[in-house]
Structure 1
């Protein structure tokens, strides 16, 4: 078990991506603290982790609320004594489906503001625990956005969101590296499983994501969980300030 004895927080842990990461963490021995706004979905993931013999806690937390984030981090440390891994996947799949020039400014900026604020607050809370420990891992999700998809798919503000978060990742890695804290992005190139059934244009999006992959298929949620485990583990101790490319060749470095 690569994460045996470690404590992890997953913000957005009740969603498809957050849930996949949380379940993989649990399978690999981490005590997982699931944070989000919907208790029922968080509890469902926690039940899966517990059913597989793992440890999970559920906390209803608004990651846009500064006091709520800081208060929750205090509870996490009280439970486990430390924090080893912090993952935030909030507002990472919000493809809005409207051409940019047809959008209201508030709608365009919504995913940008949501992701940047929540990731700042959660990363800051994590770093304030990890710095005295002289170690820890902060994981983001998304990677550098492939703007060529805008020819076929109206993405709204999500592309700018990804690029803004990547800038934050680089800054955090630079500031926190001397304290033994690693900051990494998981870059998938898009996940067909996260496109809701019945979503207008779903088939076209899935075909696009799979077609862009050199391997002929895009990454799966299981892939995301397993790579997240590796990134959070000591096996990846030399990886920081980087984006781990798990796009199946959709993004060629």
Structure 2
């Protein structure tokens, strides 16, 4: 198994992307600790993993709360004795569909503040555990924003949020690399399974995203999980500081 005897923490593990990654980690042998603000959501994924023969824990954790993140990291160590992978895919609470000229400052800034704060806190907690061991992976999801999309859709603060996280990823990779810690981002060109069925303009958005690929297809949640598992494995030991592109060629310009 790729991740036998490894331990992974997935913040936002009750969501679509977090759940897909958690399931893949567990399939490949890792013990998974799912954290989220809604215990029922992460517990449902943890139960599914356990029923499939994996090992998973579920905890209610606010990734914007410094003390809660640090205390949860301590619990992970108590249970598993190690921390090998830290993933943060909590909701950024962004507002889309509203032009900037009509958007409030709070709605624009919320995803930026939410994402950077939570990703800093969870990365810091992981780094403090990983550095003494000399190994580990901090994994993000999203990648550099495709600003061509903003010509067709109002994306609010999402674009700046994505780019800000990429700056954080690069800085962490530079600082933590000498200690054996890798920092990687997975980039897709959109995941149809994560778009709510009732989202206005859903079909148009999916058609646009698909047409932008070179292969005529978008990534699935299962594929995201499998690639995340590979990046967490020894087979990806040389990957750090990079944005791993799984956009089917969308980013080719």
Quote the residue 1:161 is aligned against.
161
Q: Deviations over 1:25-68 (max 9, x none)?
A: 01000000000011111111111111111000000000000000
SS in 2 for 1:247: coil
Quote the residue 2:139 is aligned against.
139
- Rounded Cα–Cα distance in structure 1 between residues aligned with 2:190 and 2:91: 14
TM-score (norm 1): 0.98
Q: Which moved more, 1:196-205 or 1:125-134?
A: 196-205
Gaps of 5+ in 1: none
Quote the residue 2:124 is aligned against.
124
- Rounded Cα–Cα distance in structure 2 between residues aligned with 1:122 and 1:54: 24
Report the CA distance between 1:92 and its aligned residue.
Answer: 5.2
TM-score (norm 2): 0.98
SS in 1 for 2:34: strand
Quote the residue 1:188 is aligned against.
188
- Rounded Cα–Cα distance in structure 2 between residues aligned with 1:97 and 1:83: 39
Q: How many residues align?
A: 253
Moved over 4 A (4+): none
Q: Which moved more, 1:64-73 or 1:91-100?
A: 91-100
Report the CA distance between 1:70 and its aligned residue.
Answer: 0.4
RMSD of the TM alignment (CA)?
1.1
SS in 1 for 2:243: strand
**Structure 1 contact 143–185 (Cα < 8 Å) conserved:** yes
Gaps of 5+ in 2: none
Report the CA distance between 1:94 and its aligned residue.
Answer: 3.8
Quote the residue 1:103 is aligned against.
103
Quote the residue 1:206 is aligned against.
206
- Rounded Cα–Cα distance in structure 1 between residues aligned with 2:32 and 2:126: 14
